Amino acid sequence: MTLFGFLKARGTAPVARERLQILLAHERVSLGSCDLLAKLRDELLATIARHIEFDPEKLTVKLDRAGSTSTLEIDVEIPSDKFTSGARRAVPAQVSAA
Nearer to other proteins, 66 or 87 (CB): 66
Q: Which residues pair with 65 in a beta bridge?
A: 70
28 binds other proteins (CB under 8 A): yes
Nearer to other proteins, 36 or 91 (CB): 36
Helices first, then strands: H and E counts in the chain? 4, 2
Q: Shortest distance, CB of residue 91 to other proteins, whole angstroms?
A: 40
Q: Shortest distance, CB of residue 28 to other proteins, whole angstroms?
A: 7
Q: Which residues pair with 80 in a beta bridge?
A: none
Nearer to other proteins, 68 or 80 (CB): 68
E strands, 1-98, where?
59-66, 69-76
23 binds other proteins (CB under 8 A): yes
The residues, ordered by sequence, that sit 6+ positions from 32 with a Cβ below 8 Å of its Cβ are: 63, 65
Q: Shortest distance, CB of residue 11 to other proteins, whole angstroms?
A: 2
